[in-house]
Structure 1
């Protein structure tokens, strides 16, 4: 679900053997093989620090609730004692055409998201959100498929989604090539849309983003990891620019 929007990035390059450059590599912390490096992949999370990430409209990630545990970037649940509010993190770099891949798992009843095309000239961290949620337990997922896992949150539903239960690792991908945008879940493409198209404009017109200037047409911005107050884990977050 949507709330505030942030996401950062970090740089690390390690050599090794290519196994699954085109699909999600499960298990290993954020390390790139030599072939992946040659193909232009860059880690957005180095497996040990918050380097490359910062808070939305902040100079760094200090003061956020995000932490690194066992090679994963995680957000502990907010027990109500933390009064700092939602503290999304964004990538330091911006991206226009890209192939973004990551692994994630979410706690039971959890809600979060990965946003792209996030701008900092807005009051809120608005962007196109790849929804991450416990479809079985979170009430927002019961509103409809446009608020379920892998959807373009509140705008377009994903179809035929091979989502794994809360607590298990999933792989996700967002591919932006020109005006074409695709969402993948566990190696299956589940959503495809065109930026600026009549179909997208119509869907936005029925969403909570109706009337937001440039929403659905912006083709450059930060990547954001959402703090929705629920626990989530990320690993093997990497990106490749498409020239």
Structure 2
């Protein structure tokens, strides 16, 4: 009887181990599949991102979905190069190139989560704008839109201007400094996120939240009143509730990629 019991026990142990092995294989397969799905290249979306509602604003191959500020065409001063949207620097600073200029999205956005990567040339300057309007009174997007600064902090003089570093990379230009200031040097890729929801705006840079502010509030109006923007446009503080995303031609080489957005 003891021998029979021992044989039954051994059989149960072997069966249990076999079941555990089968279960382990079953749980590992989805993980391996997920890992393959997540391994996408630049300017591509994972299946998880697609399921969450993310869409690409740049396909890595064409300028589709973008046009010159105030025009229907796409400027010759911008090119698609090696999977990036590149502005060819004119060396003319904010004046930009005669065949360049700011580029904007075809669609307007109100509540959104925006992501992209940027890389700046040595001594370079550019910017990422949102909630902007193509107002025929103005020739550039910054007359109506808040800006996340793109800058070579080590060489461009704008890094030393403004107040408390509010013109350095990641900052809300001329208004709120990025803290911490974690931008990578010229020639290296930086990742950013801008979240805008019912007036609350968050800037993230290289994985860290660097600032938060709230549009259309008394604090916001006071902040803008102490900046240079009222001289450019007395109505600048009245940022639109919906507007275009824009990339700035500031006369320097700059590259953008992985531009994606999710409406909230």
Say whether the 8 Å CA contact 2:121–2:252 is kept in structure 1. yes
Deviation of residue 198 (structure 1)?
1.9
> How big is the alpha-carbon RMSD for the aligned residues of Structure 1 and Structure 2?
1.8
Q: Which residue is equivalent to 2:215?
A: 195
User: What pairs with 1:129-140 in structure 2 (closer than 5 Å)?
Assistant: 129-140=147-158
Shift of 1:79: 4.5
Aligned length: 218
Instruction: Give unpaired runs (5+ residues) of structure 1.
Output: 1-15, 20-24
Normalising to structure 1: TM-score of the pair? Answer: 0.84
**Contact residue 97 and residue 251 of structure 2 kept, 8 A:** no
Partners of 1:83 and 1:190 lie apart in 2 by: 31
Report the structure number with the largest CA radius of gyration: 2
Segments of 4+ in structure 1 off by > 6 A?
Answer: none
User: How far apart, CA to CA, are the structure 2 residues paired with 1:83 and 1:205?
Assistant: 31
- 1-structure distance, mates of 2:38, 2:97: 44
Higher-strand-fraction structure: 1
Q: Write the distance in 1 (CA, Å) between the matches of 2:111 and 2:50.
A: 18
Distance 1:184 1:72 in 2: 21
Which runs of 5 or more residues in structure 2 are unaligned? 1-35
Per the alignment, residue 77 of structure 1 pairs with 89
Whose relative contact order is higher, 1 or 2, with alpha carbons under 8 Å and at least 6 apart?
Answer: 1
Contact 1:86 1:228 in 2 (8 A): no
Structure 2 residue 243 is matched with structure 1 residue 221: yes
Q: Is 1:64–1:87's contact at 8 Å kept on the other side of the alignment? A: no
Residue in structure 2 matched with residue 166 of structure 1 by the alignment: 186
- In terms of fraction of residues, the more helix-rich structure is 2
Q: CA deviation at 1:64?
A: 3.3
In the TM superposition, residue 69 of structure 1 has moved relative to its aligned partner by 1.1
